Structure 1
C-alpha cells in the first residue's frame, strides 16, 4: 500500500482532518524599466530581456484633459517578444503624465475627476492590453496638486476595477519620501506599489549617495510597517550623477562614471554605510566635480536587502544606465574605502 493511501486510511479511521500542503512562495519578480527611444536602453533590453520576468517600457502618456493617450513606438520590444525560444516576460507599460518635457498635471487630474475622460482612458488601456497581450500597467502620475493627490487612490481603485476582470494588473509608483498614509491608500487601490528607492540625493541637491545602504534599509522598514511586502516592488537605481560645484547634476551611466574616474586618475571611495562608489575631479569648466553612482556590487547588496524583507520583486531603474557587471554572477563585496562621511542632502542654493 502506498504511503499516501495508508495516511488517508488512518485519517478516515480516526476522524483526522489532513491540512492541504501550503503552496510554495512565489519566486520574487525581476522587473526592468526602460525608455523605448533610448539606444542604450534598447541594447540592454535586447541583451537581457530573458533574465527578467516583467518589462516596463515608458510607453504611454496621457496628453489631454479628454483622456487621450499617446503611445511610443517600441520596435525593440516587438523584436524581443517575437524571438522564438526566448523567455517572453510579461509587459507592464508605464502610463505617465510626462510628455513633451512637461508633467501634464491638468491631463492627469482630469482623468481622475472627469467621468468622460476617465472612461476614454480606461477604454484605450483595455483595448491596447487586449491587442498587445499586456499583463497590466504601471501608473506614474507626478507633480500632482493636493487636490490631485487626494483623488489619486479613488481613481486607481476605479481603474483597477476596470482592468481586473480582464486579467490585467495595476501597479502604481511612489517615492520613498511620500507620506506613508498616502502610499498605504495607493496600495489598497492597486495590485502593487513600486517604491522608487533612489534619489536620496538628487540632481538639484548637494552631492551625496543616490541610495545609501543604511538609508535604503531604514526607509524600507518604515514603509513596510504599513504595507504588505507581498504587494511591493522595490525599484533600485542603476545610474549616477555628476555634480559640478554649486550646480545641477547630470545623469551619467555607471560605465560613464567609471570611465571618468579612470580618465581623471581619481581615487574611488566607497563608504560602509552608503556603498555608493564616488570620487571628485577638476573639470574642464574649471569647477570641482563630484560623481556618485550605483555599481553592480551596490545593486546586489541593495537587492539582497530588499528580498530579505520578502517583497514581491525588485526592479532596475533603468536599463541602459546599469553597470554591465550587474548581469554577471556576484562576487565578494568590495571593501569600504576610508573617506569623509557625507552630510544630509539639501537643495543647491541659487
Structure 2
C-alpha cells in the first residue's frame, strides 16, 4: 500500500495514545501489575548525550527502579586523550541523579581500531598512561565509577591480532578496576554477546572476575548494515547467557543484560544503512502508516512493513514491553536479575511496569 507518509507522520503522536499493540499474555499482564506495587532498584540504563534532557527527566521519573545511570559522555582517542562529548560532566545532571539515589557511572567508548588498541594495550607505559587518563575522568566529578565500553578494537578477523587485544584488555581492566576499587568506585565493563562467532575478543571469565558488573549488550543481532531482522531473539539470549554462566562462569550477581528500546527501519533491497527509530518513534510510525501490529513469537520481537511515498518497501523491527517480558523470562531462567536499558528516553511508558518485575 502506497501512502502519503509526510502527512501521516505530521499527524502522528509520540505519546502512544490511540490503538495499542496486541496485549501481552494474561500471565505477563498479571505479573506486571503485581510487580508494580513494590519495585526495587534493579535496572541500569544509559543516558545518551544527544538526548540528555529527555533521558534525564525519564531517569528521575523512574528513579525507584534505577540503581545506576551511565551518561554516554566520554570517548578515548589515544592513550592519554579521553575527550568529553557535548555536555559531559554537567553537574546539574549528576547532582539531580544523585538526589534521587541513583549512582552516576559515565560510559567511556573508544575510537581506536584493533591494531592501534593492541599496540596501546600491549605497551606497559602507554597502558599505564591510559589508566591515568581514565582515572582523571573518574575524579573529575562526583562519579561513582566508570563504564568501559570499548567495541571498535574488536573489529578484526585476524585471530592473532584479536588475541593481542584480548590479552591487553585483560591487563588494562585489571589495573583500572583495582584503582577504581581503591577509591570505592565501581568498575563496569560493557561487552558484546559472546557466541560462536561474536565477542571473541572479550575474556568473560577474566572480566567477570575483576569488574563489579559485566554488561552484555543484548541487541543488534541484526544491525543497521545487515538484512532486516530482529534486534534480539530468545535463542540468542539462551546462547550467550549459557556461555556467560556455564562456560565463563561469571557470577550471576555480576551479570547485566542490556535490553533494546529502539529498532531499525530498513529500506528493503537497499544497501544503505537502516534508520534508527526509538520504540516510541516506531509505534508512532506504525500507526501513521496504518500497519498492523505483528509479533514474531520465535524471536520475541514486534515488526511491521509499509511502502513510502516513493514506492519503496520498508521493514521495521523494534522492541516493546511485550517482547521485553519474553526476554526477561530468559534472564530469570539463568538467574540473572539485572536488566540494563539502551536507552533512557527511547522506551514507551509501559516498559517500566514490565521491568518492575525484576
TM-score by length of 2: 0.74
Shift of 1:324: 2.3
* Aligned mate of 1:37, from 31, 50, 69: 50
Structure showing greater radius of gyration is: 1
* Aligned mate of 1:281, from 294, 302, 306: 306
Shift of 1:75: 7.2
Alpha carbons of structure 1 residues 220 and 85: separation in structure 2 relative to 1, 3 Å:
closer
Alpha carbons of structure 1 residues 157 and 324: separation in structure 2 relative to 1, 3 Å:
same
Q: How many residues are matched?
A: 300
* Aligned mate of 2:128, from 119, 124, 137: 119
Answer yes or no: is the 8 Å Cα contact 1:28–1:314 preserved in 2.
no
Shift of 1:310: 2.3
1:72 corresponds to which residue?
A: 85
Answer yes or no: is the 8 Å Cα contact 1:281–1:289 preserved in 2.
yes
Any unmatched runs of 5+ in structure 1?
Answer: 1-26, 332-350
Alpha carbons of structure 1 residues 43 and 105: separation in structure 2 relative to 1, 3 Å:
farther
CA distance in 2, matches of 1:191, 1:85: 20
CA distance in 2, matches of 1:107, 1:222: 29
1:222 corresponds to which residue?
A: 243
2:335 corresponds to which residue?
A: 310
2:143 corresponds to which residue?
A: 134
Alpha carbons of structure 1 residues 312 and 60: separation in structure 2 relative to 1, 3 Å:
farther
Answer yes or no: is the 8 Å Cα contact 1:46–1:80 preserved in 2.
no
* Aligned mate of 1:166, from 175, 183, 200: 183
Answer yes or no: is the 8 Å Cα contact 2:41–2:65 preserved in 1.
no
Runs of 4+ off more than 6 Å: none
CA distance in 2, matches of 1:96, 1:269: 35
Answer yes or no: is the 8 Å Cα contact 1:180–1:223 preserved in 2.
no
Shift of 1:84: 9.6
CA distance in 1, matches of 2:354, 2:207: 35
Answer yes or no: is the 8 Å Cα contact 2:44–2:339 preserved in 1.
yes
Answer yes or no: is the 8 Å Cα contact 2:74–2:88 preserved in 1.
no
State yes or no: 1:296 paired with 2:327: no
SS in 1 for 2:253: helix
Question: Which has the higher relative contact order, 1 or 2, with Cα contacts under 8 A spaced 6 or more apart?
Answer: 2
CA distance in 2, matches of 1:289, 1:171: 37
2:102 corresponds to which residue?
A: 89
Shift of 1:167: 1.2
Any unmatched runs of 5+ in structure 2?
Answer: 1-39, 154-160
CA offsets per residue over residues 94-150 of structure 1, 9 Å max, x none? Answer: 11104xxxx555664454233343333323333443442222111111222523233
After superposing the two structures, state which structure 1 stretch, 275-284 or 48-57, moved more: 48-57
After superposing the two structures, state which structure 1 stretch, 87-96 or 142-151, moved more: 142-151
Alpha carbons of structure 1 residues 308 and 180: separation in structure 2 relative to 1, 3 Å:
farther
Answer yes or no: is the 8 Å Cα contact 2:256–2:338 preserved in 1.
yes
1:183 corresponds to which residue?
A: 204
CA distance in 1, matches of 2:291, 2:48: 31
After superposing the two structures, state which structure 1 stretch, 213-222 or 284-293, moved more: 213-222
Alpha carbons of structure 1 residues 275 and 126: separation in structure 2 relative to 1, 3 Å:
same
Alpha carbons of structure 1 residues 323 and 38: separation in structure 2 relative to 1, 3 Å:
same
SS in 2 for 1:322: coil
CA distance in 1, matches of 2:125, 2:200: 30
Alpha carbons of structure 1 residues 80 and 60: separation in structure 2 relative to 1, 3 Å:
closer
2:293 corresponds to which residue?
A: 268
CA distance in 2, matches of 1:235, 1:262: 27
CA distance in 2, matches of 1:85, 1:43: 13
CA distance in 1, matches of 2:75, 2:114: 12
